[in-house]
């Protein structure tokens, strides 16, 4: 079955496999100056290279020059004399694990292009000059996924797709003592899983082992609420599963009444949004417990503090039904109200549109102001190729503020070319002082999902502020 699963990825890439593995018996395509078919297809174990047919993302902004060697000789690693280095691309599938046979196209700043196939570990490595562009093609009978990352750093490792996470189910039973005035109880496991136990009636359920901390312990925060969903009290409980089962007990003495509520608000200049909303999460280690959400300003209450507790605040300004800009701020739990500055947001994105030239899509959009402070841009467009869905994820440094254009696909991957109009799924610019573009390019979708899913662990250690602006037509 494992070999059959692997063949799902290899079958649509048969022309490329034949070109790479066919040896000298397979003649190279006829050269055509300046086209992607100007390929020098070589023998087994060697890399086919050719000049790319233009395209590429907008050139990334240059990093500051490094120090010079005494005597005024430029450092070999300076922008004026970049040193090539290894770039490793690891392709993974959350269901099947490493993806073997995915095509990885390396477009070097020197103008050369190389194609490799990922090995059994889903990896492909090639030496490129900093600033190169890499495109990954994963072709299955049911879907085609393209990912292009521009302005890569070297040496570096880039992950495309999500790794397979081994996990299993853990059964639990939960008993909760009543709290005066409460009509509803919410048990939050800190991993996006909640339950609603009732006093006097033990609750049976299951959680994933992903909801356990590094010591294999489930740490539960339970809220007692009144009929209006106001939090009256908190209780904590820990349970270590034994033989795949955990027992959670909240006794009468476990409840701690809440202190006076605080407010989360947004104030100041720049509030041109039609709607301002906010969310609160309590962060303890790898866990994030929901603390409420609503139109800003809104009230929230802090749980009993622990030494490592933090607060994650999310504030979102909606400019329209499709465009919004927001901030995620991870900070010590503290006390009192929290107010976000309305002027401290990235510019808005508008009107994304895709045009196609010679089969290659180009994504353009407008901004209300410069994105020079952004760490990078992540976008995705989708179409179809002979009835098969195609998605193309684009990751770029902030230098490409208004247009993203990936390199043309090589002729060996012509079967992956879209046959229907391209549509925009989303365009998002991200910014944080603690991030570098190298971090964004390595885990672009991971960080994008951390923003969308409010996953504080992926945002970096406290204190950290992440700003984003997005449009999803």
What pLDDT score does 107 carry?
Answer: 96
Is the model's pLDDT at 63 over the cut of 60? no
Residues 115 and 245 in one domain: no
Query: H/E element holding 310?
Result: strand 310-318
- Looking at 293, 308, 341, which one is the last position of a domain? 341
Instruction: Say if 435 falls within a structural domain.
Output: no
CATH of the domain at 103: 2.60.40
Q: Please give the share of the chain, as a percent, with pLDDT higher than 90.
A: 33
Instruction: Say if 443 falls within a structural domain.
Output: no
Residues 50 and 124 in one domain: yes
Residues 133 and 51 in one domain: yes
What's CA 174's distance to the chain center, in Å? 34
* Band of pLDDT at residue 16, cut at 50, 70 and 90: low
* Band of pLDDT at residue 137, cut at 50, 70 and 90: very high
Is the model's pLDDT at 49 over the cut of 60? no
Residues 154 and 205 in one domain: no
The β-bridge partners of 278 are: 294, 315
Residues 9 and 113 in one domain: yes
Residues 54 and 182 in one domain: no
Domain extent at residue 336: 262-341
Residues 57 and 204 in one domain: no
Residues 227 and 278 in one domain: no
CA 394/CA 392 separation, integer angstroms: 6
Strands lying side by side in the sheet with 338-341? 298-300, 262-267, 338-341
- Looking at 113, 135, 159, which one is the last position of a domain? 159
Is the model's pLDDT at 112 over the cut of 90? yes
Instruction: Say if 453 falls within a structural domain.
Output: no
Nearest to 145 by CA among 321, 433, 383, 337: 383
- Looking at 309, 341, 373, which one is the last position of a domain? 341
Residues 182 and 143 in one domain: no
Residues 9 and 99 in one domain: yes
Instruction: Say if 367 falls within a structural domain.
Output: no
Instruction: Say if 298 falls within a structural domain.
Output: yes
How many independent structural domains does the chain possess? 3
Residues 47 and 142 in one domain: yes
Residues with Cβ within 8 Å of residue 406, at least 6 apart in sequence: 55, 56, 57, 133, 135, 146, 148, 150, 360, 361, 392, 394
The β-bridge partners of 329 are: 313, 465
What pLDDT score does 438 carry?
Answer: 76
Residues 185 and 205 in one domain: yes
Instruction: Say if 178 falls within a structural domain.
Output: yes
Helices (H), 265-360: none
Instruction: Say if 413 falls within a structural domain.
Output: no
Instruction: Say if 462 falls within a structural domain.
Output: no
- SS3 of 409-453: CCHHHHHHCCCCCCEEEEEEEEECCCCCHHHHHHCHHHHHHHHHC
* Band of pLDDT at residue 269, cut at 50, 70 and 90: low
What is the average pLDDT value for the chain, to the nearest integer?
79
103-107 and 133-139 strand pairing: antiparallel
| Residue-wise pLDDT tens digits, 379-413 | 999 999 989 999 999 999 877 778 899 999 998 88
Q: Interior CA angle at 157 toward 152 and 163, to 5°?
A: 120
| Residue-wise pLDDT tens digits, 305-341 | 777 788 888 888 888 888 999 888 888 888 888 888 8
């Amino acid at each position: 079955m494992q070999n059959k699963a692997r063949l799902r990825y290899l079958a649509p890439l048969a022309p490329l496999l034949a070109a790479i593995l066919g040896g000298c018996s397979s003649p190279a395509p006829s050269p055509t100056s300046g086209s992607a078919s100007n390929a020098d297809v070589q023998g087994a174990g060697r890399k086919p290279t050719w000049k790319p047919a233009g395209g590429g993302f907008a050139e990334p902004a240059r990093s500051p020059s490094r120090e010079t060697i005494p005597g005024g000789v430029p450092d070999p690693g300076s922008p004026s004399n970049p040193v090539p280095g290894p770039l490793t691309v690891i392709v993974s599938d959350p269901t099947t694990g490493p993806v073997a046979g995915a095509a990885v196209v390396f477009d070097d700043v020197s103008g050369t292009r190389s194609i490799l196939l990922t090995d059994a570990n889903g990896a492909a490595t090639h030496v490129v000059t900093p600033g190169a562009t890499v495109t990954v093609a994963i072709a299955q009978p049911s879907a085609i996924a393209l990912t292009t990352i521009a302005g890569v750093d070297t040496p570096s490792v880039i992950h495309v797709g999500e790794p397979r996470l081994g996990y299993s189910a853990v059964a639990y039973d939960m008993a909760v003592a009543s709290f005066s005035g409460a009509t509803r109880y919410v048990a939050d496991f800190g991993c996006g899983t909640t339950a609603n136990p009732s006093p006097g009636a033990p609750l049976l359920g299951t959680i994933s082992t992903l909801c356990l901390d590094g010591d294999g312990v489930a740490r539960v925060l339970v809220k007692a609420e009144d009929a209006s969903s106001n939090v009256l009290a908190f209780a904590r409980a820990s349970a270590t599963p034994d033989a795949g089962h955990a027992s959670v007990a909240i006794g009468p003495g476990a409840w701690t009444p809440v202190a006076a509520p605080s407010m989360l608000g947004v104030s100041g200049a720049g509030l041109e949004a039609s709607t301002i909303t906010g969310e609160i999460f309590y962060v303890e280690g790898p866990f994030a417990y929901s603390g409420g959400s609503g139109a800003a300003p809104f009230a929230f209450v802090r749980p009993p503090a622990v030494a490592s507790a933090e607060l994650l605040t999310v504030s979102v300004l909606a400019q329209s039904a499709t465009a919004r800009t927001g901030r995620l701020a991870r900070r010590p739990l503290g006390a009192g109200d929290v107010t976000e500055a309305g002027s401290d947001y990235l510019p808005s994105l508008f009107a994304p549109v895709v045009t196609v030239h010679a089969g290659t899509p180009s994504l353009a959009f407008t901004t209300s102001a410069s994105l020079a402070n952004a760490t990078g841009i992540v976008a995705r467009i989708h179409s179809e190729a002979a009835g098969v869905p195609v998605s193309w994820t684009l990751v770029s440094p902030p230098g490409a503020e208004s247009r993203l254009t990936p390199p043309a696909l090589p002729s060996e991957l012509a079967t992956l070319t879209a046959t229907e109009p391209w549509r925009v799924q989303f365009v998002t610019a991200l910014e944080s002082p603690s991030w570098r573009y190298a971090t964004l390019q390595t885990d672009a979708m991971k960080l994008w999902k951390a923003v969308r899913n409010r996953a504080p662990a992926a945002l970096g250690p406290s204190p950290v502020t992440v700003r984003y602006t997005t449009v999803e037509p």
